[in-house]
Structure 1
């Protein structure tokens, strides 16, 4: 996978991609993330990338010319599956979107800034618009890093245990169950006995019940239509016994 990120603040993205899983993915040759400074494509001696909004109003707007020049330059190198714009009014990013994007080969992510981009950029170039939530940040750099992390960790071979990503929260529409490690007894706080039993079927059943219970309590909006409220209540009642 090749991900090109276009930004006016490349320094904000240097840290996230030089450590941990993202660095490992690049070292293994499984993914490549390139950061492109939009000012390299700026207009005139000042390398201008923004201008005042037509019609007046506060704030600057990212100009179409630098963005178009950058995107067209990249498109000469490879074919892109999606050109993504990070914006508060895009579709809310979730695990399903991450799963779908992890199957792509080449992506461009454009980081919004100031009051956003000239609308013509969205009309001409952008194929997908993504938001990470109903709030506004100073720019799209941190959201782009989050989206990139969520995508790359799903690529086969990136995680040491490839089944780990399949048991994360949201993969099956539920939150992940509680997890425990050593010691089995800490100051009287004990690990549930079923997890120490070695009985795989019982452990799997306990984990599913706990996922349903946790999702029901914390994120009822996520409850899968295929899991009836009656089953939710039964699971919760069983765990209380």
Structure 2
């Protein structure tokens, strides 16, 4: 079983999404356990403060290191301990596979202006980003990582072959998909997909995937 610890000031953010679809089925099947930890539980003042003004001045607030360290220690987390951060390397399918092959994953969700750098340097084992943009907090990014990882757990999907034909699964982008009707508002499905010739269909899908990967810089 994979245990996923999610440390956040908004643990309720995950209740709805993790109770739906593949994340829910995987948990019910005993493939994954979600442990959402409220970072404010590790604040030491009556107001449950987890942020403070940055040294050196400037706008915004910075999340304090102590609550993160204490929260991680409370669950006995081991690597990988991932800080969701715009400074991190971009999350990839290879990362999802790597995390899915483990037994534990801990995700640290920042908020406000930034997280004290000592969390990145001395607590997290890696930093991961979803891309060159900034979210209001690490929670949406953490949820994306969880979804990408959990669907790869053996038995999580009813049809693992569906996952194997996804984009980035041992290759670049996947070919476009079509379903009934064969013509809609004058827009037709490529003839090859209606031909019944599986060798030609496989060739078309391979070539289309390669074309899209080239065009999009993959």
Range class of TM-score, shorter chain? over 0.9
TM-score, with length taken from structure 1: 0.85
User: How far apart are 1:194 and its partner, in Å?
Assistant: 2.4
Deviations 1:96-137 (A, max 9, x none): 221222111101100011122222122221101000011111
Contact 1:81–1:104 at 8 Å: present in 2 too? no
Matched, 1:120 2:121: no
Give the match for residue 81 of structure 1: 79
Contact 1:13–1:142 at 8 Å: present in 2 too? no
Whole-angstrom CA distance in 2 between matches of 1:212 and 1:120: 42
Whole-angstrom CA distance in 1 between matches of 2:22 and 2:34: 12
Give the match for residue 68 of structure 2: 67
Correspondences of 1:18-57 after superposition (within 5 Å): 18-57=19-58
TM-score, with length taken from structure 2: 0.93
The ranges of structure 1 where at least 4 consecutive aligned residues each deviate by more than 4 angstroms after the TM superposition are none
CA-atom RMSD in angstroms: 1.6
Contact 1:3–1:108 at 8 Å: present in 2 too? yes
Matched, 1:10 2:11: yes
User: How far apart are 1:138 and its partner, in Å?
Assistant: 1.0
In the alignment of these two chains, the number of paired residues is 217
User: How far apart are 1:187 and its partner, in Å?
Assistant: 4.9
In terms of mean alpha carbon deviation, does 154-163 or 187-196 score higher? 187-196
Whole-angstrom CA distance in 2 between matches of 1:215 and 1:119: 36
- SS of match in other structure, 1:39: helix
User: How far apart are 1:165 and its partner, in Å?
Assistant: 1.2
Whole-angstrom CA distance in 2 between matches of 1:143 and 1:97: 14
- SS of match in other structure, 1:47: coil
In terms of mean alpha carbon deviation, does 165-174 or 27-36 score higher? 165-174
Whole-angstrom CA distance in 2 between matches of 1:108 and 1:174: 28
- SS of match in other structure, 1:163: helix
User: How far apart are 1:188 and its partner, in Å?
Assistant: 4.7
Correspondences of 1:1-241 after superposition (within 5 Å): 1-75=2-76, 80-217=78-215, 219=216, 221-222=217-218
Bigger relative contact order (CA 8 A; separation at least 6)? 2
- SS of match in other structure, 1:206: helix
User: How far apart are 1:191 and its partner, in Å?
Assistant: 2.6
Cα 1:56–1:187 change in 2 (3 A) is closer
Cα 1:135–1:189 change in 2 (3 A) is closer
Whole-angstrom CA distance in 2 between matches of 1:88 and 1:118: 14
**Which runs of 5 or more structure 1 residues have no equivalent in the other structure?**
223-241
